[in-house]
Amino acid sequence: MNHARPSSRAFTLIELLVVIAIVALLISIMLPALGRARASGRSVVCASNQRQLVTAFTMYADDYRGAAMPHLRTSGITRTYWYGQENIATATLDHTQGTLTPYLSAAPGDRSVFECPEQPADSYHTQGSTGSFTSTYGYNAYGLAPNTSGYYELYKQRTLKLAQIDRPSSQLVFADALILLFSGQPSNSALLDPPKLFSPGSGWRENPSPTTAFRHHRPDNGFGLAANARADGSVTHSEHDPDARRFESFGIGSIAPNNDPNYVQHADRWH
């Protein structure tokens, strides 16, 4: 009696190559979508961070008669910034002692609220005498508390009260920030510098080193959006103005070519 053997058929080389090609095609289709999804997630985290910061900023003002938070306060060997306290003698930075720390929902010392996930640590140089991480968000002390911003020529300018801000939905409080220093490489910046700087006697001039960073993706999958928090508590993503100065290779520039109303409102009243 003859028994028929069950037929078995292996993949031919051509069929295997076709399967591999199909898999590769599917991966190539999915990767950009996955990349956009990851970028969108980082953008959401960044917006959440800045919402915490601007909420803390408002709570600080409520406790201090409506005054905007200082960028820097110096006492003895310590310099207290909004993001932490620097000890000059030991050259260390303590994030648990920053001006905003008591008002943040994050655990004291948790630096993630100060760090944009779209700007990894190996993509910039750390700025500061301690060599420690400060923040990749910039606080707009230049427009809100200029006499605390560290610019000597602004020591006569007054710190604003929140009630003095005419257009809170336009006034920047925090934004993604970087600065391009003399080395030609970007460094992190915890100070949001405007497109124009002020000098007593000579007025306003173009800022050679603006610090707004446009590092988030636009809907068309291109870079060019800066997350920012406004004085009304809102958080949005703004594009770079084509008429404003910009360092193309690093996406650093300004939201607008002029200070008013985003950076310094009523800049014409400065003296």
% of the chain surpassing 70 pLDDT: 87
Q: What is the pLDDT of residues 224-255, one digit of tens each?
A: 899 999 999 999 999 888 878 777 678 899 99
pTM given for the model: 0.85
Specify the pLDDT at position 131: 74
How far is it between the farthest Cα atoms of the chain?
113
Question: What mean pLDDT comes out for the span 211-221?
Answer: 82
**pLDDT above 80 (res 10):** no
How far apart are the two ends of the chain, measured CA to CA in Å?
111
| Rounded distance between C-alpha atoms, residue 39 and residue 47, angstroms | 12
Closest CA to 174 of 100, 244, 247, 109: 100
- Give the 3-state DSSP-derived string for 194-238, with helices as H, strands as E and coil as C: CCEEEECCCEEEECCCCCEECCEECCCCCEEEEEEEECCCCEEEE
Q: What number of CA atoms fall less than 13 Å from residue 87's CA on the CB side?
A: 9
Q: What is the pLDDT of residues 77-112, one digit of tens each?
A: 999 999 999 998 888 999 999 999 999 987 777 889
Compute CA 19 distance to the chain's CA centroid, rounded to the nearest angstrom. 44
Q: What are phi and psi of 194, to 5 degrees?
A: -80, 175
Q: What is the pLDDT of residues 26-62, one digit of tens each?
A: 766 665 655 556 667 788 999 999 999 999 999 999 9
Q: What number of CA atoms fall less than 13 Å from residue 202's CA on the CB side?
A: 7
How many CB atoms lie under 10 A from the CB of residue 197? 20
DSSP lists the bridge partners of residue 67 as: 161
